[in-house]
Amino acid sequence: MDPEVLEAVKKALISRLGETKVLWKKPDIVLYRKDTYRIRFDEDYKYLPDLVVLPETTAEVQEIVKVAAEHRIPLIPKGGGSSRTGMLVPIHGGILVDTIKMNRVIEVSVPNLYVTVQPGVTLKELEEHLSEHNLALNQEQGSLRMATVGGSISTSGFSRKHQKYGTIADRVMSLEVVLADGRILRTGQKVLYTSTGYRLHQLFVGAEGTLGIITEATLRVEPLPEARDAIVAFYKGFWEANEAAQRTMASGVTFTGGEAYEGHDMSSYGAPPGLKGLFYVGFEGIKGEVEAEVEFVRKIVADTGGVLATHENASKFMGMYSEQWCGARTRTKSEDVLTTYVPMERMVEFYDILWNKIGKKYDISPLPGEKYGLDVGRYRIVAGRFFLPKGEGAWEKYQSALREIAELATSMGGSVSSCHGVGIQHKESIKLEYSKVALETMRAIKRALDPDNIMNPGKKIDI
Amino acid sequence: MTDQEFAEMFETAESCVYCRCGCCKDGCPMYAEILEESISPKGRNELIRAISKGIVEPDERALRIAFSCLLCRRDEFSCSAQLKNADVTESFRRYLLERGLPMLPEHDLLAKNLANYGNPWGESKSARKRWAKDFLSKRFVNGKTETLFYVGCTFSLDRTLQESPRALASLMQKAKEDFGLLLDDELCCGSTAKRIGAAALFEKVQKLNSEKIRATGAKRIVTACSGCFKTLKQDYGGLLNGIEILHSTEYIALMIEQGRLKLDELPKKVTYHDPCHLGRHAGVYDAPRRILSSVSRLKLIEMRNSREKSGCCGGGAGVKTAYPSISQKVAVRRIVEAEKTGAEMLVTTCPFCMQTLKSAAQESGSKIEVIELSVLIDRISHPKGGRK
């Protein structure tokens, strides 16, 4: 940014927000340069925001947007910062709007089962707050300890309990959004079901901050369940565990969510020697209902040759969910993850091409225990985690691999990214997933809401 | 800082930066109050890497960020990789000071006091025995007395806390322990110097103190201060090898379990706050709970965050001195959590936790009684065979 403009913008923001809510010193802003995206290896410090602001109210967000709009400066809205696809990288500089101080719970309505919050409250904090009212949002994503409501909505985040409670997209009832011209958009009343109006709130689910800044969200909540239980079963490998998963999904039995995968070392969960496949299912509801559901899935496990884990080991496994989310990154210092959607009947073919053709061609190999993974339930993410290529041309190989994985998933009728969004990582690849008309419609929406392209420019879709 | 120490610091920072998950922010008491990325273990690791690579020049802001940490280790129990962020932050402080940045003025005073008076609080040598008017006869006899009650600077010099060393000495008497005190001859353990990055001063203090203690011929050290306990036990690099070092909670639990102390009943609901230096740093979680569980009719109610996940009181690592208002907010947060248990008493066992939590309870108008464990047990105990 031009130094004179930067100084004027800084001065304007300080006068409107106060000095403590505006950061500009390098030891502060260097920390806001990216999310968990693997930026080009030699460009780690290339993109820095010019300023970081920490608003606490909708009115302050409006002031920030007005200043940015006046100078046509990019705005990058931030939640917990756990995005994996680069949606927080300030590739054009600008003002990074950290919503983390907008963390108030505004209203809990027990009779109408909703909660209204500012966007910066984390999913964990919100669950703790709701539990005091015997309510739950039931959004368990791997990043739940730092992911914010605003960030989760903007990324269309996943939940381990998706089968019973849906993901955040299914929970959103109404939003307040500051648009690119500073106006406040309220998407509708705090109702879950209406047949009036366009469903504007859904427009901002997964929008990655490209259409406006979410400043308030009303979300559907549920009563805390009377009973909870879980089944963990071990199998020879992933495909045997997958058989149990497919039968469970086809049966119509109610469960919160589940997973089938092939682990590296399952002995810490009590797996008999040689069994690497794991299938787990969670249950919540009234006591008799949960007992019946558990019994039903136990039978599926028995019929598919699974070995049930003890209750203690099942609990231990359920407790390591968030560790599973990020632990490998620190240990390996060289990994990325795919969260594609692939039709179930093409899964064998998908994994075969992924690891035996694309993997070999571009030097990507699965992390131990991360070769196969399926989220069991209505949102069926086909996942895998892989080591990045090394040596000369590593970045190019990595990008080519991502491109071919996207081509593979979309050619099968699937999606490039079920739950990590697009950011800059998949920006080119989503052109494979949507028709020309669909993309043009998306661009038209973006232009209508953000004609100067100041809302997180260069992310999700090029206009 | 040696090349190896620098390499260890950089390697941890590098590992963290590669992941960037931010799990550490969950439970980090300083981040919870300030909510800026720099004030989190992840943020500091980023800064360590950026400075080490020459991307960011170390300046006063970097120094402030380095010292905005309680070294409480709460984050390490949120981090999947269990990165040693507290150790790294201590190293980062030393690194910045060795690169020529000045010590924070608030900490400079602590260091000067320690160098000139032998304690961080600027009190005279003789003030160290003020608390012990009734125990002057218990001066340690070198080569004869077995147990050294090491009181520490804060318990012995803060007049609002002196009930604690008196209670522990009283308990030792009731248990007929052969113990002794160094009184005005006692030296600082050096914990404060180490936490604020004054490496040379710490080296000097630990040498003097370990020599002093070794010269007594004591077989065991008992201390009620969690900071002294952690420092003597973990930071002296073997200088006190061969001498058993016990925290007062471990010692009192033994006295009760050996039948050397009898306890009256206490029909109260209490909750327990784990001091960071005692719990997460030294792994002593059970001893205080064993003591409380042995009191008839006392109901121990755990806070939502306890043991490894206990919140910090806000008083550690120079934060209370440099950032008193933030320290107070951290402590008030803990008081609110304690109140949610419905307990009448908040029991803890560290002079810094006592200072911050008592002050926060007053500040927030809380009715919960903040009490040090030795004091509580002294009130309800009597010697074996003594009158109930």
Q: How far apart are CA A155 and CA A309, in angstroms?
A: 34
Residue B342 inside a domain? The answer is yes
pLDDT of residue A264: 76
Q: Are B76 and B110 contained in the same domain?
A: no
Q: Are B11 and B81 contained in the same domain?
A: yes
Contact B80 A322 (CB under 8 A): yes
**At which of B253, B278, B307 does a domain end?**
B253
Contact B56 A30 (CB under 8 A): yes
Looking at CA atoms only, how far is residue B58 from chain A in angstroms? 8
Q: Are B64 and B138 contained in the same domain?
A: no
Contact A26 B56 (CB under 8 A): yes
Contact B83 A35 (CB under 8 A): no
Cβ contacts (< 8 Å) between B59 and chain A: which residues?
A: 25, 27
Does residue B388 surpass a pLDDT of 50? Answer: no
Which of B14, B36, B50 lies nearest to residue A30, judging by beta carbons? B50
| Average pLDDT score over residue span A220-236 | 96
Q: Are B83 and B7 contained in the same domain?
A: yes
What ipTM was estimated for this complex? Answer: 0.91
Which of B43, B79, B83 lies nearest to residue A31, judging by beta carbons? B43
CATH architecture, domain A102-223: 2-Layer Sandwich (3.30)
Does residue A321 surpass a pLDDT of 80? Answer: no
Q: How far apart are CA A424 and CA B226, in angstroms?
A: 49
pLDDT tens figures, B99-116: 999 999 999 999 999 999
**At which of B52, B77, B102 does a domain end?**
B102
Contact B284, B254 (CB under 8 A): no
Contact B47 A54 (CB under 8 A): no
pLDDT of residue B384: 78
pLDDT confidence band for A104 (50 / 70 / 90): very high
pLDDT of residue B171: 96
For residue B371, give its domain range.
261-383
State both tokens at B366.
């809380």
pLDDT of residue A40: 87
CATH code for the part of the protein at A227-319: 3.30.70.3450
Q: How far apart are CA A142 and CA A132, in angstroms?
A: 23
Residue B54 inside a domain? The answer is yes
Does residue B29 surpass a pLDDT of 90? Answer: yes
Contact B37 A146 (CB under 8 A): no
pLDDT of residue A277: 94
**At which of B253, B274, B309 does a domain end?**
B253
Q: Which residues of B282-317 are buried (b: 16+ CB within 10 A; e: fewer)?
A: bebbebbbbbbeebeebbbeebeebebbbbbbbbbb
| Number of domains forming the structure of chain B | 3
Q: Are B124 and B201 contained in the same domain?
A: yes
Question: Nearest-CA residue of chain A relative to B77?
Answer: A323
Residue B195 inside a domain? The answer is yes
CA distances (Å), origin B105, targets A352, B64, B110, B123, B255: 63, 11, 9, 19, 44
CATH code for the part of the protein at A3-100: 3.30.43.10
Domains A227-319 and A324-429 share a fold: yes
Q: Are B279 and B324 contained in the same domain?
A: yes
pLDDT tens figures, B264-304: 999 999 999 999 999 999 999 999 999 999 999 999 999 99
Q: Which residues contact B196 (CB under 8 A, 6 or more apart)?
A: B67, B93, B103, B104, B107, B110, B111, B317, B318
| Average pLDDT score over residue span A406-424 | 94
Q: Are B249 and B265 contained in the same domain?
A: no
3-state secondary structure chain B: CCHHHHHHHHHHHHHHHHHCCCHHHCCCHHHHHHCCCCCCHHHHHHHHHHHHCCCCCCCHHHHHHHCCCCCCCHHHHCCCCCCCHHHHHHHHHHHHHHCCCCCCHHHHHHHHHHHHHCCCCCCCCHHHHHHHHHHHHHECCCCCCCEEEECCHHHHHCHHHCHHHHHHHHHHHHCCCCEEECHHHCCCCCHHHHHCCCHHHHHHHHHHHHHHHHHHCCCEEEECCHHHHHHHHHHCCCCCCCCEEEEHHHHHHHHHHCCCEEECCCCCEEEECCCCCCCCCCCCCHHHHHHHHCCCCCEECCCCCCHHHCCCCCCCCCHHHHCHHHHHHHHHHHHHHHHCCCCCEEEECCHHHHHHHHHHHHHCCCCCEEEEHHHHHHHHEEECCCCC
Q: Are B74 and B138 contained in the same domain?
A: no
Mutate to test the interface with B, among A17, A21, A24, A30 (most CBs of B within 10 A): A30
Residue B72 inside a domain? The answer is yes
pLDDT of residue A1: 84
CATH code for the part of the protein at A324-429: 3.30.70.2740
Cβ contacts (< 8 Å) between A145 and chain B: which residues?
A: 23, 25-26, 78
Q: Are B72 and B48 contained in the same domain?
A: yes
Residues 32-71 of B with CB under 8 A from A: 35-38, 42-43, 46-47, 50, 55-57, 59, 61-62, 65
Sequence spans of domains, chain A: 3-100, 102-223, 227-319, 324-429
Q: Is B83 on the interface with A (CB under 8 A)?
A: yes
Q: How far apart are CA B362 and CA B354, in angstroms?
A: 12
Q: Are B122 and B211 contained in the same domain?
A: yes
Contact A54 B36 (CB under 8 A): yes
| Average pLDDT score over residue span B159-180 | 95
Does residue A447 surpass a pLDDT of 50? Answer: yes
pLDDT of residue A327: 67
Q: Are B45 and B98 contained in the same domain?
A: yes
Mutate to test the interface with B, among A23, A28, A321 (most CBs of B within 10 A): A28
| Average pLDDT score over residue span B238-242 | 93
Q: Are B114 and B243 contained in the same domain?
A: yes
Residue B388 inside a domain? The answer is no
Q: Is A100 on the interface with B (CB under 8 A)?
A: yes
